[in-house]
Structure 1
Amino acid sequence: MNLAKLSFTTLPIIWTGRHSRAMQSLPVAVYGAYGHTGRLLVKELNRRGHLPVLSGRDARRLKALVDEYPGSDMRPASLDAPAEMDRALTDVAAVVNCAGPFGDTPPASLLDASRRAGVHYLDVAGEALVAWRTFNDFRPSDGTLVIPAVGFFGALGDLLASVAYAGAPSPADEVSVAIALNGWTPTAGSDRAGVLRAGRRVVYVDGHLDVRAGTPEPFGKWQFPPPFGQREVTGEFPTADVVTIARHLPTQDINAYIHVQSPGEAASTQRFLAEVTVRWGKQQTRVWAAGRDIYGFSAALAGEAIDRLLRGESRATGLATVSEAFDAADFLRALPLDSLELG
């Protein structure tokens, strides 16, 4: 592993809340609205002035959520009932899929329903296999946007890598994503997704995506900015960032590392730091971001993407990553981060 050591001074960021601009309230469907991340996203969309349309399989749990948000539109729908899915997406501007666990196949029923309805689709899946197969297997309807992996594991690394890559010779020799968490209590959906992954790891080596399984994960050390400093990391971490970065940033290799401090802490006190390096020859660029609660941050990522999408700020249609659809540096500066270093 090429784990170079640099240090940075923390840069405080004030969240200016771009969503406060006057904008028309538009209905946005949240599928899996009663799950952990779904609830956080419903709260985020409500705060941003959108009209959440609450959907999912379980009508009882949806009703309990409607009681928290009086006046919300409740639309129960099963993924194996196309007519119910079509009703759920009637007259909405976009749908965000928060229904875990995300396995190793794209959520075809909801993607197909979004295509029939002609609405934008986003999901918060952090699973590399899901993102890879969504990009490979799905074709959106004309004029709509499909953005997989609009969550902590998938969007943040892609945004940071896009900033670090700007101005670099193409292709780069290596892009590395390193994540440090001071604790992590996975949700039930995250746990089940890990079971479905069954030890498979998506890697990007010599310009190609591949799946590895049955071999030990590599270990090494990474010098993070304060407060983490040097930490032991696990390599070949199966985050969707590997897929989103590989989609549009030419490079020979993509590395993904993670450090999780034990024991796990509650989400309200969880801190994260994500650092990305882009190397070409003996030169490299480093950028990083720090914040709290990876699930709450995923909701903020999706909320910001919805805001920009409905304001007509997307520079892409069809299949795209967050940083293909929007200006990466500007997007990062709008997020609720404790610190951000973009070089």
Structure 2
Amino acid sequence: MNIAVYGATGHTGRLATAELRARGAEVILAGRDEGKLKAMADELGGARVRQAALDDPAALRKLAAEADVLIHCAGPFTHTGRPVAQAAADGGCHYVDHALEQHHTAWMYAEMDARAQSAGITMVTAMSFYGGLGDLLAGAVAAGMSEVDRVTVAYAVSDWMLTTGAKGTAELLFADTRRITYTDGAFHVGDVEPRNAVYPFPPPLGPRSMIAPLPSSDVVTIPRHVTARRVEAQLTADTFSDERAFTNEHVDAATRAGSHFTVAVQVVTADGNRAGQASGRDLWKESAVASVEAAVRLADGRGPDRPGVYGPAQAFAAAPFLRDLERLGLLTLTLPEPPAPS
């Protein structure tokens, strides 16, 4: 497998690279800073390096033409998403990104699906912790359910230290006045007044005060595989009240790995509800390894039957994918029993 990691010298890129090499993949270190890429290659004892600036489409296409799969780790995707995704389609390689930005994900569906089909490739967007894990959980919990009234994804995160890229992404998200929401069975775009909510996490967390709605990509992806009237994501209010989140962007990798998370999903119908959750430590590693799992499946031909653009739970069977992440020690799952065959 030849798998390119764009943004390889960043925190998530390094985690993805380490996981790929542990699995015996040939990794191409790619990004904008050739000096940092070469230094990383030396640290690893040798690796292919490809410098490709975002404003150099020829270099990006050349990179994509070399790879079986390209994992895009360099956010904010509001700025970096389009040129790298377009290059993947032009170069004919599968693509996985870590975007949690709603508008990038919506753009991928609207603008890149036809191009991906024409190129015969699969593009998986929003394979991140925020957005991606919620999407997979919603797919697993809602499997076999119909006439869903509401899907709520609740993120409880503590001790989260943002990287420079993640800090930039967070600032863009919370300043966005054109948020995408999904209510009454349809997408809406516009200013949304945040509100306080309470989500009933099971013990030991218990009910928590939440920021709602969270402008994450799962609100864009979930309605494409779960028929629901309303989809909303929420985040624990105290996640950003910890000033370290925004001030410790240069901490070492071991400190950054100290985050703890629980992601819960509740699916409500007229007849009742079903719920599931995933808990773990180090959301950065969960995100990186999930993207590697996706990339390896695509390289092995274990992706969707039809080329195009997909969210995580559209591209892969959600419950088995999550169980694989659990087997790797990334999280602990609580999922409802699958519905009995009719």
Q: Normalization by structure 1: what TM-score?
A: 0.87
CA distance in 2 between counterparts of 1:84 and 1:156 reads 32
11, 29, 42: which one pairs with 1:67? 42
Secondary structure of the structure 1 residue equivalent to 2:257? helix
88, 91, 97: which one pairs with 1:123? 97
| Residues 202 and 236, structure 1, Cα contact 8 Å, conserved in 2 | no
Look up the match of 2:130: 153
Letter in 2 for 1:116: D
Letter in 2 for 1:61: K
Look up the match of 2:310: 320
Look up the match of 1:20: none
| Residues 74 and 80, structure 2, Cα contact 8 Å, conserved in 1 | no
CA distance in 2 between counterparts of 1:91 and 1:129 reads 29
| Residues 201 and 207, structure 2, Cα contact 8 Å, conserved in 1 | yes
| Residues 289 and 337, structure 1, Cα contact 8 Å, conserved in 2 | no
| Residues 106 and 130, structure 1, Cα contact 8 Å, conserved in 2 | no
Look up the match of 1:189: 165
Unmatched tracts of structure 2, length 5 or more? 246-254, 337-342
Q: What CA deviation, in whole Å up to 9, does each residue of 1:87-114 have, x standing for no partner?
A: 22233101011111222x7722212211
| Residues 106 and 133, structure 1, Cα contact 8 Å, conserved in 2 | no
CA distance in 2 between counterparts of 1:101 and 1:91 reads 24
Look up the match of 2:281: 292
Look up the match of 1:332: 322
Letter in 1 for 2:103: L
Structure 1 residues 121, 180: CA separation in 2 closer, same or farther (over 3 Å shift)? same
Structure 1 residue 231 corresponds to structure 2 residue 208: yes
Secondary structure of the structure 2 residue equivalent to 1:89? helix
CA distance in 1 between counterparts of 2:151 and 2:32 reads 39
Q: What CA deviation, in whole Å up to 9, does each residue of 1:123-165 have, x standing for no partner?
A: 0011112111111121313421011111111221111111111
Look up the match of 1:341: 334
Secondary structure of the structure 1 residue equivalent to 2:9? coil
Look up the match of 1:144: 121
CA distance in 2 between counterparts of 1:143 and 1:108 reads 18
| Residues 257 and 285, structure 2, Cα contact 8 Å, conserved in 1 | no
CA distance in 2 between counterparts of 1:338 and 1:149 reads 19
Unmatched tracts of structure 1, length 5 or more? 1-25
Secondary structure of the structure 2 residue equivalent to 1:334? helix
Structure 1 residue 179 corresponds to structure 2 residue 155: yes
More helix by share: 2
CA distance in 1 between counterparts of 2:331 and 2:218 reads 21
Secondary structure of the structure 2 residue equivalent to 1:100? coil
CA distance in 2 between counterparts of 1:62 and 1:97 reads 15
Structure 1 residues 125, 95: CA separation in 2 closer, same or farther (over 3 Å shift)? same
CA distance in 1 between counterparts of 2:43 and 2:202 reads 40
CA distance in 2 between counterparts of 1:175 and 1:186 reads 27
Give the Å deviation of 1:50: 0.9
Secondary structure of the structure 2 residue equivalent to 1:184? coil
CA distance in 1 between counterparts of 2:193 and 2:303 reads 41
Structure 1 residue 308 corresponds to structure 2 residue 297: yes
How many matched pairs? Answer: 315
Look up the match of 1:9: none
Letter in 1 for 2:25: H
Q: What CA deviation, in whole Å up to 9, does each residue of 1:246-277 have, x standing for no partner?
A: 22211110011111445347432211000111
Letter in 2 for 1:112: Q
Give the Å deviation of 1:56: 0.7
Q: Could you tell me the percent identity over the aligned residues?
A: 36
1:14-53 correspondence runs (5 A): 26-53=1-28
CA distance in 2 between counterparts of 1:239 and 1:74 reads 32
CA distance in 2 between counterparts of 1:90 and 1:70 reads 24
194, 199, 207: which one pairs with 1:222? 199
CA distance in 1 between counterparts of 2:257 and 2:62 reads 36
CA distance in 2 between counterparts of 1:236 and 1:106 reads 25
Structure 1 residues 268, 195: CA separation in 2 closer, same or farther (over 3 Å shift)? closer
Secondary structure of the structure 1 residue equivalent to 2:287? helix
| Residues 65 and 92, structure 2, Cα contact 8 Å, conserved in 1 | no
| Residues 52 and 59, structure 2, Cα contact 8 Å, conserved in 1 | yes
CA-atom RMSD, angstroms? 1.7
| Residues 141 and 267, structure 2, Cα contact 8 Å, conserved in 1 | yes
Secondary structure of the structure 1 residue equivalent to 2:126? coil
1:199-214 correspondence runs (5 A): 199-200=176-177, 201-213=179-191
